[in-house]
Chain A
Amino acid sequence: MSSAFAVTAPEFSDVTLVAQVRAGDAEAESELARRFGPRMLVLCLARTGRPDLAGDLAQDAMIALLLELRRGSLRDAAALPAFAAGIARNVVRAEHRASSRYDVRSLDIDVVQASAEEADIRRLDVQRAVERLPVPDQQVLQLILVEGCKPADLAARLGISAEAARARKLRAQRRLMELFGTVGPSRSPEGLPPTIR
């Protein structure tokens, strides 16, 4: 399925990736950033609700992940995803912006920068997808995603039954996902990958 946010299949297994990052393989480091950079970003955004802060925190988390893998801190490579998620959670929890442990000036991770390069295209895709939704669906999604309405709240706000509210919600969700699936380019491997130097 081609979508604005489709993710290409990983080129490295976790075991290979961890071993090669530890060995200083630049390609593996780029793959690490490509694979986990977007995940760090969505986690930081979900937990902070602040797009202005999430990018910086994701960057900090990627640096922490890279350095810990270089040091060989992860013994069980199969635990890499949970390990990376744990780092992002801890970075958000601490919400510290300056690191005494990591000399971030010596690293250049383009996780967020690479996302920014695609940001205009993606923003347009999102705008198109949302615009193609019927206004009642946009209203429902706005109530859910922006105002935080639960189904019961939705029913009360729209003056409809709980069952009808659930149906409206599911319909809006389904249409949104369908539209995202039909607009915009995929995140292709030809695009500039995040790099770590």
Chain B
Amino acid sequence: MTECTRYRDDEVALRYVTRDLEEPERIAFEDHLFACDPCLTRVERYQAAQQELTHRQLPSPPTAIANPEARPAKIRPLFRWPILGALAASLLVVLGSWSLWPRGSGAGPPAVGRALEPTNLPTPAAGPRSSALGVAVLAMVTPPAYVTLTTRGQGDTRFAAAMQSYTRSDWPAASRALAPLPSPEARFYKGIADLMLGNPAGAIAALEAARDSGRQPYARESLFYLGKAALQRGDVPAATSLLTAAHEAGAGPDGEAADLLTALAELQR
């Protein structure tokens, strides 16, 4: 293995593994890491040692008891080994964020112009440094969970049947079954199913109908997913506008609209 000419020792690699680098330095090191084999080896070794030492029972090192104030008040564990609750916790986050419905008053969403025209071709509008790929990554969608509450009448029966496909993640069947149903709820979930199918045009048509219905929470939540549809099309200005509206309306999983706006701004720098 040849030596790295940029990082002569492994200090930065160690600081990277222990998350002790500021974000700009961290990004610079990562970009370098993706082209440097010696630094990759260093990082892999430290991460491997980190995992091994996480499990290792060692006698306690001698500690300074003469000057207890000199001891750090609290050391943050860096490395969290998988815990049994991790999966349950992540599920709770997803479900919890949606259990916040209804949020706010019954007022409609903030006025947002028709930022998207479903009939138009995708119009990548990212700046030269804004990677279309980065936008694509941000366009990924986690479908909101759906929990059956009531079933009433024929319309609800059809909706319930369609949502069985939705809960099975059978997006083609869900989209087909929801297509003829005019309710805002059905429009909203059809929009989600179309997003999952990678069909932003269909998603936009359905979600705009849900948004324009004014019925909450679907009108408000549609803003966030319209932003996702815009991202799927690579339409960064429209996505920014819609996600800003979503953020202001409190739409989408908690804090995610704001996070996406931050990521988009970073991509465009």
Instruction: Kindly name the residue among A73, A100, A156 whose own CB sees the greatest number of chain B CB atoms within 10 A.
Output: A100
For B17, the closest partner residue in chain A by CB is: A46
- By size class, the interface of chain B is 35 or more
Closest CB of chain A to B203's CB: distance in Å? 9
Determine which of A91, A149, A155, A177 lies in contact with B75 in the assembled complex, contact meaning CB atoms within 8 Å. A149
Number of interface residues of A (CB under 8 A): 77
Chain B CB within 8 A of A171 CB: no
Give the interface SS of chain A, mostly helix, strand, loop or mixed: helix
User: Is the CB of B153 closer than 8 A to any CB of chain A?
Assistant: no
Q: Is A42's CB within 8 Å of the partner chain B? A: yes
Nearest-CB residue, chain B, relative to A97: B142
A81→B35 contact, CB < 8 A: yes
Specify which chain B residues have a CB less than 8 angstroms from the CB of A126 in the assembled complex: 48-49, 51-52
Answer whether residue A25 sits at the interface, using C-beta atoms and an 8 A cutoff.
no
**Residues in B146-197 with C-beta less than 8 Å from chain A:** 195-197
Q: How far is the CB of B204 from chain A (nearest CB, A)?
A: 13
Decide yes or no whether B92 CB sits under 8 A from chain A: no
Assembly CA distance A83 to B82 (angstroms): 29
Can you give 26 A-B contacts (C-beta < 8 A)?
Answer: A6-B41, A39-B34, A46-B19, A51-B81, A64-B136, A83-B131, A86-B134, A87-B134, A87-B137, A94-B137, A98-B140, A101-B139, A101-B198, A101-B232, A126-B49, A127-B52, A130-B52, A143-B61, A145-B18, A145-B50, A146-B54, A149-B72, A153-B75, A156-B67, A157-B61, A173-B14
